[in-house]
């Protein structure tokens, strides 16, 4: 369970005190500390990272900001770290964009390109809309500690100025009042802010990003309510030519596999209210380690999402030292129909294909027992892609393992009609009592052939099944890299076309 913000803040202050010791250890044993460093996912060079923030595309560059505690590897006084990429895959960390100030630390939020200078900061200014969180006011327990504020940049995100009129949306008395995601709504010609308010979402409208009017509230008696709602996002997508709106809501705890997770709703938005098309609860990613993700602004019809590859249940305890936390792979979001129902799919962005090489393919592959692909992946240093296209709908598993006997299983269970990731024997699991579990995702696709794409990056696996209808993300910490790969089936099984390929990336 996520620790109260106050407790974590105190932990961070303690950690600050012993920071030099941690750094000292790192110098003597650098290899060990970099053992779990993702190679083709973004992670900060040093310190703590949680939610991705303020993602915006401008002049050929994708900006990724993120919740960052630069001075410690546990959550603490939040800054906005910053990284830039031209292809959503190779990230270059930049100077910290936003520092805490007299109004508080800098919690999650979004950024927009203000093309028409509605806010008066300049044409095409980047405007960040974020939550100021005051730890002093939180302690006073008035409930007024979270307020929405602005900062702007007129040099493509290099330097930022906080707006002198902050906060622009003061707290009306709601304890959890945070994570503004702002977009321009063309039909109603206004900015819409989607804000997490306890266990609902409140929509606000504004002509200029500075004055905000409450429009409506969504979320009572629908969706999952096992924890606080955080980091929402609202955007449009079409399916078979029909326009829809998608509302993403992260929730902690209360995810389908414990702890943090992100649910979504498909429906209609008219510039005032969101009305869902369905009553059932759906998850963007059923695995334990994709949280607080939102989409990039200013990417036109393309919707690109990135999440935090972690879970508040153990985020402060995962066994890395120099840094803690990473982002998921950037994912393209689309809508797909299954029967009459419309689902949100996530697939790795196509830019990833540029770094996939040395592909080994076996077509129409029949297996029985263990099909050992270890020699194919030995030299890949734990980072590769595995794809199965057109496998029979029978139970089978993909096993990643090392010579210590540690393993992680990613599979399909025919009887339950579920995909699963089992990390119960994956190496270091006892830093948190619930970490070593088997997690499941329902299969949503109906066809008799399965499709699975796995991205493995040293200490994480992302499963995109059936073109992104069932998705799971899971981190793991083996004592030696998983350099063995097997596909296992008790009976005879056609796994279709199998591809295993290196992911070539230099940090």
| Position among 131, 149, 206, 484 found at the interface with ligand FRU (CB under 6 A) | 131
- Helix or strand run (H / E) with residue 345: strand 341-348
Smallest separation, CB 48 to ligand FRU (Å)? 9
Torsion from C-alpha of 78, 82, 88, 92, nearest 10 degrees:
-130
| Position among 114, 138, 179, 321 found at the interface with ligand FRU (CB under 6 A) | 179
**d(C-alpha 489, C-alpha 491), whole Å:** 6
Name which of residues 193 to 232 contact ligand FRU (CB under 6 A). 230-231
Strands across the sheet with 105-114, in order? 105-114, 125-133, 146-153, 161-162
Name which of residues 235 to 294 contact ligand FRU (CB under 6 A). 292
Nearer to ligand FRU (CB atom), residue 5 or residue 500: 5
Smallest separation, CB 486 to ligand FRU (Å)? 36
Residue 51 annotated among the catalytic residues of the structure: yes
Smallest separation, CB 201 to ligand FRU (Å)? 13
Smallest separation, CB 253 to ligand FRU (Å)? 12
Smallest separation, CB 131 to ligand FRU (Å)? 6
Smallest separation, CB 353 to ligand FRU (Å)? 30
| Position among 107, 163, 191, 314 found at the interface with ligand FRU (CB under 6 A) | 107
Nearer to ligand FRU (CB atom), residue 296 or residue 308: 308
Torsion from C-alpha of 377, 382, 384, 390, nearest 10 degrees:
70
Q: Does residue 178 interact with ligand FRU by CB under 6 A?
A: yes
Looking from the CA of 454 toward its CB, the CA atoms found within 13 Å total: 32
- In the block, residue with structure tokens 């770094």: 355
**How many residues touch ligand FRU (CB under 6 A)?**
12
Burial class (CB in 10 A: 0-12, 13-18, 19+), 168: buried
**d(C-alpha 157, C-alpha 58), whole Å:** 9
- Measured at the CA of 245, the angle between CA 244 and CA 248, to 5 degrees, comes to 140
Name which of residues 51 to 70 contact ligand FRU (CB under 6 A). 51, 67
Nearer to ligand FRU (CB atom), residue 260 or residue 460: 260
Nearer to ligand FRU (CB atom), residue 200 or residue 470: 200
Nearer to ligand FRU (CB atom), residue 53 or residue 488: 53
| Position among 50, 148, 313, 470 found at the interface with ligand FRU (CB under 6 A) | 50
Smallest separation, CB 336 to ligand FRU (Å)? 28
Q: Does residue 328 interact with ligand FRU by CB under 6 A?
A: no
Strands across the sheet with 407-413, in order? 366-372, 484-494, 396-401, 407-413, 418-422, 438-442
**Residue 209 β-bridge partners:** none
SS3 for 165?
Answer: coil
Nearer to ligand FRU (CB atom), residue 78 or residue 493: 78
Catalytic residue among 19, 25, 29, 51: 51
The 10 Å Cβ neighbour count of residue 380 is: 19
Nearer to ligand FRU (CB atom), residue 50 or residue 460: 50
Confirm if 229 and 286 have CB atoms less than 8 A apart. Answer: no
Name which of residues 415 to 444 contact ligand FRU (CB under 6 A). none
- Helix or strand run (H / E) with residue 30: helix 30-33
Catalytic residues, by residue number, are 51
Q: Which residues bind ligand FRU (CB under 6 A)?
A: 50-51, 67, 78, 107-108, 131, 178-179, 230-231, 292
């Amino acid at each position: 369970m996520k620790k109260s913000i106050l407790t974590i803040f105190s932990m961070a202050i303690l950690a600050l005190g012993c920071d030099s010791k941690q750094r000292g250890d790192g110098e003597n044993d650098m290899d060990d500390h970099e053992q779990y460093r993702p190679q083709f996912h973004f992670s900060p060079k040093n310190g703590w990272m949680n939610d991705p923030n303020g993602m915006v595309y401008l002049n050929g560059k994708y900006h990724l900001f993120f919740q960052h505690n630069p001075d410690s590897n546990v959550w603490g006084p939040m800054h906005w770290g910053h990284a830039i990429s031209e292809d959503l895959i190779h990230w270059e960390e930049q100077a910290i964009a936003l520092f805490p100030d007299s109004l508080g630390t800098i919690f999650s939020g979004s950024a927009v390109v203000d093309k028409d200078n509605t806010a008066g900061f300049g044409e095409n200014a980047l405007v960040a809309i974020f939550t100021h969180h005051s730890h002093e006011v939180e302690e006073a327990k008035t409930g007024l500690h979270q307020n929405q504020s602005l900062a702007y940049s007129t040099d493509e995100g290099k330097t930022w100025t906080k707006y002198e009129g902050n906060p622009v949306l003061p707290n009306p008395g709601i304890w959890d009042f945070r994570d503004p995601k702002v977009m321009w709504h063309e039909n109603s010609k206004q900015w819409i802010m989607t804000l997490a308010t306890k266990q609902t979402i409140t929509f606000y409208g504004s002509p200029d990003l500075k004055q905000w009017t409450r429009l409506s509230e969504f979320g009572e008696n629908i969706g999952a309510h096992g924890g606080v709602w955080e980091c929402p996002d609202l955007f449009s997508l079409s399916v078979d030519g029909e326009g829809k709106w998608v509302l993403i809501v992260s929730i902690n705890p209360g995810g389908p596999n414990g702890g943090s997770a992100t649910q979504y709703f498909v429906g209609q938005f008219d510039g005032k209210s969101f009305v869902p098309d369905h009553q059932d609860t759906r998850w963007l990613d059923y695995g334990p380690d994709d949280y607080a993700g939102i989409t990039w602004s200013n990417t036109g019809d393309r919707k690109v999402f990135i999440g935090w590859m972690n879970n508040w249940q153990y985020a402060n305890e995962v066994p890395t030292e120099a840094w803690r936390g990473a982002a998921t792979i950037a994912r393209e979001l689309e809508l797909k129909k299954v029967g009459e129902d419309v689902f949100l799919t996530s697939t790795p962005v196509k830019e990833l294909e540029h770094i996939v090489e040395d592909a080994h393919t076996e077509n129409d592959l029949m297996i029985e027992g263990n099909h050992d692909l270890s020699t194919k992946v030995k030299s890949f240093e734990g980072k590769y892609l595995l794809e199965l296209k057109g496998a029979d709908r029978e139970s089978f598993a993909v096993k990643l393992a090392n010579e210590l006997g540690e393993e992680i299983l990613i599979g399909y269970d025919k009887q339950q009609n579920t995909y699963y990731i089992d990390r119960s024997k994956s190496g270091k699991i006892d830093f948190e009592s619930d970490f070593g579990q088997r997690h499941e995702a329902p299969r949503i696709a109906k066809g008799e052939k399965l499709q699975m794409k796995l991205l493995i990056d040293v200490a994480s696996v992302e499963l995109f099944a059936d073109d992104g209808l069932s998705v799971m993300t899971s981190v793991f910490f083996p004592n030696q890299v998983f350099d063995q790969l097997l596909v296992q089936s008790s009976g005879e099984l056609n796994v279709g076309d199998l591809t295993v390929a290196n992911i070539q990336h230099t940090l």
